């Protein structure tokens, strides 16, 4: 069972966002880059607001601010004026341009406009680089927008040449804390790597004396250029499209081996990642991580009784759902519903791969669903726990079960960007949270109120 | 620091006392300027959102619906249909072949599932382009279901937020006049432009009831379709906030002869003024009816009681906050007037004030009530806001969610005064909350750690 169910026509409380938002987030992880939406003013403002509520960080998204006239005669002039204004005011290294439903429908040809713009501005100094991605919001979700942007950045900016010892890492959309951890792990294996994107600092920055027009951090443009000369690519995402991805495009164009893994959530998926790193670096797992793993196994044992047989609903972006399902399966929590607004067609298969023989049965897997659908099924199944982003809160409240907040967006807590999901340390935090959520619920529901477990 | 304004925006900023008043506004946002403004769709969604027993269906791709899902703090005392996010979630095929069929089926499905009192269908950017005939589909579904299905012409690119207010008012106006007005008191009013954020309208209603005035419809806060249908039976429209529902009041005046009063519920001064204005209005309208005088007496008693209660409680905040500097950047300029006065009440100094959608008249008034040197700004963007905040050494910034990270990054206090806030700031009680919130941000010890203060 992997299709939308039941077959409703409308969407109520969607479990996905629109494509351009994903593209903006991806661009935000590139050094010196300003995301730019070719569309009307509203979209950009909405997305900024939405993203700010998760990160509590400034995010400037420029817009062509198209009006009715532009919608009829085409948005080219506004796009060019907008690019000039951003270039003057922000002095960016790059502007990442994403289209919207409006400009896709009126058929604006952004690559052509960019060519014209290059001709018009020839010889001018201080012009940024441009990269563009087509993100019609009436197909797919923000995740396609995100991966689409990464794919286009690589396609348009990576260059070939003599091979170097570097490794490309394309982690997909994870938290700022996750990106930080990944950088640290790569370094610990002695690997010289380029991670794209890198939202570790741009969307989780420091308090400042002087406001930065463009937040520091992000993948350097030069490093992106050099990605075409790396010796290997690691790409997270078991539900990624078969044909188009950053990793595959590097493989096709520059014959760089692409290793596709699941997002390393939980012990097994993390083991797979570390094994690959060992192979690529020729080094064993650094002691620090071996110890982390050991402590994690110890914790799994300490807490297993509170978890076994509990039933969980997991919802969110497809690859995150796959990772969370893998993690829950290995700690003995039974995933009864795995749901996503995405529609890759690969969710069920990916979940079967990661759960292997750990589950006694198969969870119900739904693609392309919204929270109304999820609620309908959930109510009949008596779940104990919901794992997902903040938009699941109304459902958790209705079912009177705890919500463990993961992924994006986290709008009703502080620190969404600091949630660690990946690696052994991420699994450790998730494990403690899940176990304690059950214990706390038992305490809260009990008349006695024992203070020992 | 370099010059702050984008070249084409210099005439949208004015410093009081530096030159004769001259500000350009109500312009489309400049491409590439990262305006803090939203769009037509947003404007209409804001105004209609709190009608809690209506279905609000966004006809378009998923984004517009999700980004506006339950982001407002508008509370309902009963049904909560408004807090769900409905969308036709247009797909590529719908864009190619038109979305009318899907819209009709979605409406039928949702009306059956939720039995709403009415349905609003919002058009988005893309619907305007593919040319779906919203009106026809809505009429058809109205016929089929017997439920009023009302199109809201809110294509995002057709102007700014103001155009959205108009679209919302047009939509609401279709309901008005369709209900029975028998038994409505001549001392009655409708509340327009208050969104019941954090239950504010419940406080305001209570004031009116204490004055002896009947509230027919809270049109935009804790709203109900049936109340709106008979809103034309009220004796007065009381409009709060600058832009959003003034048009509706004007339309009602023209069609049904209901006069209107513009008020603000923020700060002691404006709140009291609002209540007195209303009492005075009825006294003038019914000079020979002793009840009108009784309303005035009750109003005086109410205001006196509230102020007597409030002023001593404000003292603590006033002492702590005196001389601190505030900056204001809000959606509507009417709110900005009240905020300037409210800050004065706690002896604070306003050094910058601006809005997304003010008119020339609004800015003229702002310039009149502010101190020399105050920066007045229309349709600002993050870079400008940031440079003014630092230049002026601001202690607290009042704005919405989009403004918050700008203040926090620089280590400046912040007060959320937008539709998203969850604290009641209107009315007498709201003034106290406001002072309390400003106080708790400005006085927090965390600022001693921010770079701005460590250098010294
Ligand atoms: S759905 Fe279209 S109009 Fe709405 S926010 Fe997304 S891109 Fe903008």
Mean pLDDT score across all residues of chain A: 94
- The predicted model gives A240-264 an average pLDDT of 94
- The predicted model gives B356-369 an average pLDDT of 84
Is pLDDT above 80 for B16? no
Are the Cβ atoms of B95 and A101 closer than 8 angstroms? yes
Is pLDDT above 50 for A2? no
Residue corresponding to tokens 């409905």: B86
- Give the model's pLDDT for residue B7: 59
Q: B19 pLDDT band (50/70/90 cuts)? A: low
- Give the model's pLDDT for residue A302: 96
CA-based nearest distance A290→chain B, Å: 37
Strands B86-87 and A11-12: antiparallel
ipTM reported for the complex, 2 dp? 0.93
B221: phi then psi, degrees, rounded to nearest 5: -135, 130
Top pLDDT among B381 and B441 is at B441
pTM of the model: 0.93
Are the Cβ atoms of A45 and B37 closer than 8 angstroms? yes
B-chain residues near A100 (CB < 8 A): 125
For residue range A362-386, list pLDDT tens digits in order: 899 999 999 999 999 999 999 999 9
Beta strands across the sheet bearing B349-355: B13-15, B375-378, B349-355, B325-330, B396-399, B413-416
Q: How far apart are the C-alpha atoms of A297 and A424, rounded to whole Å?
A: 9
Is pLDDT above 80 for A387? yes
Angstrom CA distances, A50 to A63, A76, A251, B420, stand at: 16, 27, 35, 12
- Give the model's pLDDT for residue B2: 39
- Give the model's pLDDT for residue B243: 67
Percent of chain B with pLDDT over 70: 95
Residue B86: HSE in the Cβ half-sphere, 13 Å Cα cutoff: 27
Q: B12 pLDDT band (50/70/90 cuts)? A: confident
CA-based nearest distance B235→chain A, Å: 37
For A:176-215, CB contacts with B below 8 A are 205, 207-211, 213
Beta bridge partners of B355: B330, B378
Are the Cβ atoms of A102 and B129 closer than 8 angstroms? yes
Highest mean pLDDT among A102-106, A255-259, B327-331, B356-360: A255-259
For A:105-124, CB contacts with B below 8 A are 105-106
Q: B241 pLDDT band (50/70/90 cuts)? A: confident
For residue range A108-137, list pLDDT tens digits in order: 999 999 999 999 998 888 899 999 999 999
Instruction: Say if residues A408 and A431 touch (Cβ distance below 8 Å).
Output: no
For residue range B44-99, list pLDDT tens digits in order: 998 998 999 999 999 999 999 999 998 887 899 999 999 999 999 999 999 999 99
Is pLDDT above 50 for B1? no
Q: How far apart are the C-alpha atoms of B362 and B379, rounded to whole Å?
A: 13
- Give the model's pLDDT for residue A1: 42
Q: How far apart are the C-alpha atoms of B12 and B26, rounded to whole Å?
A: 10
Is pLDDT above 60 for A6? no
A-chain residues near B67 (CB < 8 A): 17, 46-47, 49-50
Q: How far apart are the C-alpha atoms of B372 and B140, rounded to whole Å?
A: 58
The DSSP symbol for A404 reads: E
For residue range B96-141, list pLDDT tens digits in order: 999 999 999 999 999 999 999 999 999 998 898 899 999 999 999 9
- Give the model's pLDDT for residue A5: 53
Tally helices (H) and strands (E) across chain B: 18, 14
List the one residue out of B351, B374, B348, B366 whose CA is nearest residue B435.
B348
- Give the model's pLDDT for residue B23: 67
Q: How far apart are the first and last CA of chain B?
A: 19
For residue range A69-96, list pLDDT tens digits in order: 887 888 999 999 999 999 999 999 999 9
Nearest residue by C-alpha to atom 2 in ligand 1: A101
Instruction: For chain B, say whether A10 makes contact (Cβ under 8 Å).
Output: yes
Is pLDDT above 80 for B188? yes
Q: B3 pLDDT band (50/70/90 cuts)? A: very low
- Give the model's pLDDT for residue B325: 96
The string of DSSP letters for B48-79 reads HTTBTTEEEEEESSHHHHHHTTT-S-B--SS-
Query: Burial, B96: exposed, middle or buried (Cβ in 10 Å; 0-12, 13-18, 19+)?
Result: exposed
Tell me which of A287-296, A302-311, B25-34 is least confident.
Answer: B25-34
The DSSP symbol for A229 reads: G
For residue range B289-342, list pLDDT tens digits in order: 999 999 999 999 999 999 999 999 999 999 999 999 999 998 777 788 889 999
């Amino acid at each position: 069972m992997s299709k939308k169910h039941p077959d409703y026509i409308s969407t109520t409380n969607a479990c996905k966002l629109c494509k351009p938002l994903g593209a903006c987030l991806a661009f935000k992880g590139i050094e010196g880059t300003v995301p730019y939406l070719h569309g009307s003013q509203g979209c950009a403002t909405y997305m900024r607001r939405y993203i700010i509520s998760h990160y509590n960080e400034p995010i400037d998204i420029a817009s062509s601010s198209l009006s009715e006239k532009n919608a009829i005669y085409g948005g080219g002039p506004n796009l060019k004026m907008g690019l000039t204004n951003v270039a003057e005011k922000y002095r960016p290294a790059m502007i990442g341009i994403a289209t919207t439903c409006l400009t896709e429908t009126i058929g604006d040809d952004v690559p052509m406009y960019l060519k014209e713009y290059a001709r018009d501005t020839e010889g001018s100094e201080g012009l940024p680089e441009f990269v563009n991605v087509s993100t019609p919001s009436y197909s797919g979700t923000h995740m396609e927008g995100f991966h689409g942007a990464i794919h286009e950045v690589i396609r348009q900016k990576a260059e070939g040449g003599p091979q170097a010892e570097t490794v490309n890492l394309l982690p997909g959309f994870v938290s700022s804390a996750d990106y930080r951890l990944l950088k640290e792990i790569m370094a610990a294996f002695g690997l010289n790597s380029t991670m794209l994107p890198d939202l570790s600092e741009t969307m989780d920055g420091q308090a400042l004396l002087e406001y930065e027009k463009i937040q520091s951090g992000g993948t350097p443009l030069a490093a992106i250029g050099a990605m075409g000369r790396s010796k290997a690519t690691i790409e997270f995402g078991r539900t990624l499209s078969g044909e188009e991805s950053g990793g595959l495009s590097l493989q096709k164009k520059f014959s760089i081996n692409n290793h596709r893994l699941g997002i390393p959530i939980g012990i097994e998926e993390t083991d797979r990642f570390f094994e690959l790193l060992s192979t690529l670096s020729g080094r064993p797992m650094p002691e620090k991580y071996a110890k982390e793993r050991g402590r994690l196994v110890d914790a799994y044992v300490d807490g297993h009784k509170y978890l076994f047989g509990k039933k969980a609903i997991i919802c969110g972006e497809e690859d995150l759902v796959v990772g969370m399902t893998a993690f829950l399966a290995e700690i003995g929590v039974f995933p009864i519903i795995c749901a996503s607004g995405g529609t890759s067609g690969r969710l069920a298969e990916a979940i079967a791969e990661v759960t292997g023989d750990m589950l006694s049965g198969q969870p119900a897997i739904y693609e392309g669903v919204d929270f109304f659908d999820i609620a309908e099924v959930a109510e009949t199944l008596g779940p104990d726990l919901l794992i997902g982003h903040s938009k699941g809160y109304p459902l958790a409240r209705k079912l009177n079960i705890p919500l463990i907040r993961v992924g994006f967006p986290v709008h009703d807590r502080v620190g969404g960007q600091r949630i660690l999901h990946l690696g052994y340390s991420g699994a450790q935090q998730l494990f403690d949270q899940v176990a304690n959520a059950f214990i706390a619920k038992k305490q809260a529901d009990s008349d006695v109120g024992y203070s020992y477990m | 620091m370099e010059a702050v304004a984008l070249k084409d925006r210099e005439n949208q900023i004015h410093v009081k006392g530096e030159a004769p008043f001259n500000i350009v506004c109500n312009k489309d946002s400049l491409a590439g300027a990262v305006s803090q403004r939203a769009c037509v769709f947003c404007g209409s969604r804001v105004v209609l959102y709190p009608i809690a027993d209506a279905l609000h269906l966004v006809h378009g791709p998923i984004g517009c619906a999700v980004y506006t899902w339950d982001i407002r703090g508008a509370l309902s005392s009963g049904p909560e249909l408004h807090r769900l996010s409905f969308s036709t979630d247009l797909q590529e095929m719908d864009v190619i072949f038109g979305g009318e069929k899907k819209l009709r089926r979605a409406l039928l499905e949702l009306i059956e599932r939720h039995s709403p009192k009415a349905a609003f269908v919002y058009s988005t950017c893309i619907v305007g382009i593919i040319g779906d005939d919203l009106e026809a589909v809505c009429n058809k579904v109205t016929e089929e279901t017997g439920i009023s299905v009302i199109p809201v012409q809110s294509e995002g690119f057709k102007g700014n937020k103001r155009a959205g207010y108009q679209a919302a008012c047009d939509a609401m106006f279709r309901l008005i006049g369709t209900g029975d007005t028998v038994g409505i008191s001549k001392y009655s009013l409708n509340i327009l432009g208050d969104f019941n954020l954090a239950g504010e309208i419940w406080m305001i209603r209570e004031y009116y009831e204490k004055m002896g005035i009947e509230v027919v419809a809270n049109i935009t806060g804790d709203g109900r379709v049936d109340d709106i249908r008979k809103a034309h039976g009220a004796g007065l429209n009381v409009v709060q906030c600058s832009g959003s529902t003034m048009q509706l009041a004007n339309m009602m005046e023209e069609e049904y002869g209901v006069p209107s009063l513009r008020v603000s519920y923020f700060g002691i001064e404006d709140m009291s003024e609002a209540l007195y204005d209303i009492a005075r209005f009825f006294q003038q309208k019914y000079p020979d009816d002793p009840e009108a005088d009784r309303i005035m007496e009750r109003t005086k008693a109410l205001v006196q009681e509230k102020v007597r209660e409030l002023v001593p409680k404000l003292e603590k905040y006033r002492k702590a906050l005196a001389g601190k500097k505030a900056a204001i950047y809000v959606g509507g300029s009417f709110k900005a007037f009240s905020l300037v006065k409210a800050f004065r009440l706690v002896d604070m100094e306003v050094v910058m004030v601006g809005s997304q959608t003010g008119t020339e008249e609004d800015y003229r008034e702002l310039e009149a009530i502010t101190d020399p040197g105050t920066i007045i700004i229309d349709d600002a963007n993050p870079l400008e806001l940031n440079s003014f905040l630092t230049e002026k050494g601001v202690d607290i910034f009042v704005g919405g969610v989009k403004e918050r990270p700008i203040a926090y990054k620089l280590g400046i206090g912040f007060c959320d005064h937008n539709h998203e806030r969850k604290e009641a700031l209107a009315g007498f009680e709201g003034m106290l909350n406001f002072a309390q919130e400003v106080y708790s941000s400005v006085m927090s010890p965390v600022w001693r750690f921010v770079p701005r203060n460590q250098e010294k």
